[in-house]
Structure 1
Amino acid sequence: MTAASSVSAPGAPTIGVDFGTTNTVVSLTLGDDQARLVRYSINNRDLFAFRSALSFHSVQGVGEAANERVVEAGPWAIEAYLEDPLETRFIQSFKTFAASAAFTETRILNKRYQFEDLLAAFLLRLRDHAGAQLSELPPRIIVGRPVTFAGSSPDEALALTRYEAAFERLGFTDIRYAYEPVGAAFFFARQLKQDATVLVADFGGGTSDFSLVRFERAADGTLRSTPLSRSGVGVAGDAFDYRIIDQLVSPELGKGSDYRSFSNSLPIPQRYYAAFARWDQLALLRASKDMRDIRALERTAVEPDKIAALIEVLDGNHGYALYRSVSALKEALSSQDQATFRFEAGSVRIEKPVARVEFEAWIAPELAAIETAVGQALDQADLTEAGVDRVFLTGGSSFVPAVREIFLRRFGADKIETGGEFESIASGLALIGREADLDLWTMRAG
Structure 2
Amino acid sequence: MTSATPATIGIDFGTTNTVVSLTHGDGPATLVRFQAEEKDLFAFRSALSFQLHEARDGGSPERVIEAGPWAIDAYVEDPLDTRFIQSFKTFAASAAFTETRIDNRRYRFEDLLSAFLLRLKHHADGAMNDLPPRIIVGRPVTFAGGNPNEALALERYEAAFARLGFTDIRYAYEPVGAAFFFARELKQDANVLVADFGGGTSDFSIVRFERADGALKSTPLARSGVGVAGDAFDYRIIDQLVSPELGKGSLYRAFDNRLPIPQRYYSAFARWDQLALLRASKDMRDIRGLASTALEPEKIERLIEVLDDNHGYALYRAVSGLKEALSRDEEAVFSFVAGSVRIEKPVKRTDFEGWIAPELQAMEAAVDEAMAQSGLEGTQIDRVFLTGGTSFVPAVRDIFIRRFGADRIETGGEFESIASGLALIGREADLDLWSQKAA
TM-score (norm 2): 0.96
> Which residues in structure 2 correspond to 1:200-215 (within 5 Å)?
200-215=194-209
> Which residues in structure 2 correspond to 1:398-437 (within 5 Å)?
398-437=391-430
Partner of 1:103 in structure 2? 97
> Which residues in structure 2 correspond to 1:111-122 (within 5 Å)?
111-122=105-116
> Which residues in structure 2 correspond to 1:24-423 (within 5 Å)?
24-61=18-55, 66=60, 68-218=62-212, 220-423=213-416
Letter of the 1:306 counterpart: K
- Contact kept? 1:212, 1:230, Cα under 8 Å: yes
Question: How far, CA to CA, are the matches of 1:83 and 1:224 in structure 2?
Answer: 51
- Contact kept? 2:80, 2:309, Cα under 8 Å: no
Structure 1 residues 229, 10: closer, same or farther in 2, change over 3 A? farther
Structure 2 residue runs of 5 or longer lacking an equivalent are none
Percent identity among equivalent residues?
77
TM-score (norm 1): 0.95
- Contact kept? 1:11, 1:433, Cα under 8 Å: no
- Contact kept? 1:182, 1:211, Cα under 8 Å: yes
Following superposition, the deviation at residue 431 of structure 1 comes to: 0.8
TM-superposition CA deviations, 1:36-58 (whole Å, max 9, x none):
00000111111100011111234
TM-superposition CA deviations, 1:14-50 (whole Å, max 9, x none):
0000000111000000012401000001111111000
Question: How far, CA to CA, are the matches of 1:355 and 1:175 in structure 2?
Answer: 46
**SS of the residue aligned with 2:304?**
helix
**SS of the residue aligned with 1:199?**
strand
Structure 1 residues 116, 65: closer, same or farther in 2, change over 3 A? farther
Question: How far, CA to CA, are the matches of 1:10 and 1:270 in structure 2?
Answer: 59
TM-superposition CA deviations, 1:95-146 (whole Å, max 9, x none):
1111112222222222112211111111111001002111100111100000
Letter of the 1:28 counterpart: L
**SS of the residue aligned with 1:17?**
strand
Following superposition, the deviation at residue 64 of structure 1 comes to: 12
TM-superposition CA deviations, 1:268-322 (whole Å, max 9, x none):
1111111222334323323333222222222221112222222222233222111
Question: How far, CA to CA, are the matches of 1:306 and 1:134 in structure 2?
Answer: 48
- Contact kept? 1:13, 1:29, Cα under 8 Å: yes
**SS of the residue aligned with 1:32?**
coil
Query: More deviation in 424-433 or 91-100?
Result: 91-100
Question: How far, CA to CA, are the matches of 2:279 and 2:96 in structure 1?
Answer: 23
Query: More deviation in 282-291 or 200-209?
Result: 282-291
TM-superposition CA deviations, 1:196-255 (whole Å, max 9, x none):
00000000000000000000011x211110001100000000000000000001111110
Structure 1 residues 34, 160: closer, same or farther in 2, change over 3 A? same
**SS of the residue aligned with 2:170?**
strand
Greater relative contact order, per chain length (Cα 8 Å cut-off, separation 6+): 1
Structure 1 residue runs of 5 or longer lacking an equivalent are 1-8
Give the paired residue count: 437
- Contact kept? 2:49, 2:74, Cα under 8 Å: yes
Letter of the 1:169 counterpart: R
TM-superposition CA deviations, 1:50-81 (whole Å, max 9, x none):
01111123444499963843111111111112
Question: How far, CA to CA, are the matches of 1:108 and 1:64 in structure 2?
Answer: 21
